[in-house]
Amino acid sequence: MSATTLSTSSLQHAGLVRPILTSAVLGAFLIFAAGFASSDALHAATHDTRHATGFPCH
């Protein structure tokens, strides 16, 4: 019984890793892509967000 519970728990944990990792990669891409964008308004918005979250930007 305990092995089945451990196995089910492992499968649930493994099922969460992919969406969390995908979200983190997508979020990092959006921050970096918008931060280095040529549009001044988009860059300024991202720059303010970086400062608000404590992310170094220069």
| pLDDT band, residue 6 (cuts 50/70/90) | low
- Say if residues 31 and 50 touch (Cβ distance below 8 Å): yes
CA 33 vs CA 9, 25, 26, 27, 50: distances in Å: 37, 12, 10, 10, 13
Does the pLDDT at position 57 exceed 80? Answer: no
Q: Which of 2-6, 20-24, 41-45 is least confident?
A: 2-6
Question: What is the DSSP track for the chain?
Answer: -HHHHHHHHHHHHHHHHHHHHHHHHHHHHHHHHHHT-S-HHHHHHHHHHHHHHT----
